[in-house]
């Protein structure tokens, strides 16, 4: 029980850092002179530093009632949601796989997939700083014998994961004169292939495409011509696979 509670606490703390990645990485890519550690956490409206007690995962947001302590500007509920999500996922993985290398491998992948989904949903970007570690991590864990598939299948599936969307995007550009899928999505599928193998990769591609089409029918009905990111759909399916299969 102690290990389970500790894993939940660690998950919430890591969720807090993932919030930093989600907020700052797109700004770093846009050229802002910031890093993941500098400047210290502060309100984006009044720029006052966040007090230490308000930085406590989940508890801090509740203490503030979702508003800045200085200017009372609203703080996005995304912060406690991500912290809570990571706490739940850490607890779930440890409860089902126990402390050890298997859990560590799964949690490493989840810690990359969650910020990728959130960043893509907000900015339509899948940063190389997250997709490349996903690809390399999948291949390395497979090579070390602690992944879901062997290293040969991981390598082949990574190539297939990149090449198939690239070929489909090329055909889309030829026929419709515009991009069908970004390189970030291709790298994402390469990473998912490295972790899952080509069999599960095909299932993820099919399931995520169905989800994306259903979402598009709703989004385009409300906002015709509205562009929307594709990355969150395969990521959602992949997270479900990691947690339940």
pLDDT tens-digit profile of 203-227?
999 999 999 999 888 877 777 767 7
Answer whether 0.85 is exceeded by the pTM.
Answer: yes
CA angle 105, 236, 76 (to 5 degrees): 100
pLDDT of res. 168: 84
Q: Which residues contact 137 (CB under 8 A, 6 or more apart)?
A: 108, 109, 112, 191, 194, 195
Torsion, Cα of 133, 138, 139, 142 (10° steps): 150
pLDDT of res. 44: 85
How crowded is residue 99: how many other Cβ atoms within 10 Å of its Cβ? 13
pLDDT tens-digit profile of 105-158?
999 999 999 999 999 999 999 999 999 999 999 999 999 999 999 999 999 999
pLDDT of res. 190: 98
Average pLDDT for the chain: 93
Lowest mean pLDDT among 29-43, 53-67, 169-183: 169-183
For 95, list phi and psi in degrees, rounded to 5: -65, -35
Indicate whether 232 pLDDT > 70: yes
> Is 57 in contact with 83 (CB distance < 8 Å)?
yes
CA dist., res. 91 & res. 113, Å (int): 17
Indicate whether 35 pLDDT > 90: yes
Lowest mean pLDDT among 19-28, 68-77, 229-238: 68-77
Per-residue pLDDT, averaged over 20-49, amounts to 92
pLDDT tens-digit profile of 162-180?
999 998 888 877 777 666 6
Indicate whether 184 pLDDT > 90: yes
Delimit the domains of the chain by residue range: 1-99, 124-245
Which has more confidence, 6 or 245?
A: 6
pLDDT of res. 225: 65
> Is 84 in contact with 15 (CB distance < 8 Å)?
yes
Per-residue pLDDT, averaged over 38-50, amounts to 88
pLDDT tens-digit profile of 1-22?
899 999 999 999 999 999 999 9
């Amino acid at each position: 029980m102690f290990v389970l509670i500790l894993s939940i606490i660690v998950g919430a703390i890591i969720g807090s850092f993932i919030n930093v990645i989600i907020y700052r990485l797109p700004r770093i890519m846009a050229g802002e002179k910031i890093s993941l550690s500098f400047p210290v956490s502060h309100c984006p409206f009044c720029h006052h530093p966040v007090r230490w007690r308000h930085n406590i995962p989940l508890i801090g947001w509740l203490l503030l009632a979702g508003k800045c302590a200085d200017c009372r500007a609203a703080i996005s509920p995304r912060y406690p949601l991500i912290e809570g999500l990571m706490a739940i996922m850490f607890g779930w993985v440890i409860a089902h796989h126990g402390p050890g290398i298997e859990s560590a491998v799964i949690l490493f992948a989840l810690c990359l997939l969650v910020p990728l989904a959130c960043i893509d949903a907000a900015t339509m970007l899948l940063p190389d700083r997250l997709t490349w570690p996903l690809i390399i991590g999948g291949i390395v864990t497979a090579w070390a014998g602690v992944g879901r598939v062997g290293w040969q299948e991981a390598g082949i599936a990574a190539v297939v994961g990149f090449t198939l969307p690239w070929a489909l995007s090329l055909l889309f550009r030829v026929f419709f004169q515009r991009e069908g899928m970004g390189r970030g999505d291709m790298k994402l599928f390469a990473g998912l292939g490295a972790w899952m193998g080509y069999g599960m990769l095909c299932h993820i591609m099919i399931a995520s495409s169905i989800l994306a089409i259903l979402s598009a029918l709703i989004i385009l009905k409300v906002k015709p011509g509205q562009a929307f990111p594709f990355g969150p759909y395969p990521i959602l399916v992949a997270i479900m696979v990691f947690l339940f299969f």
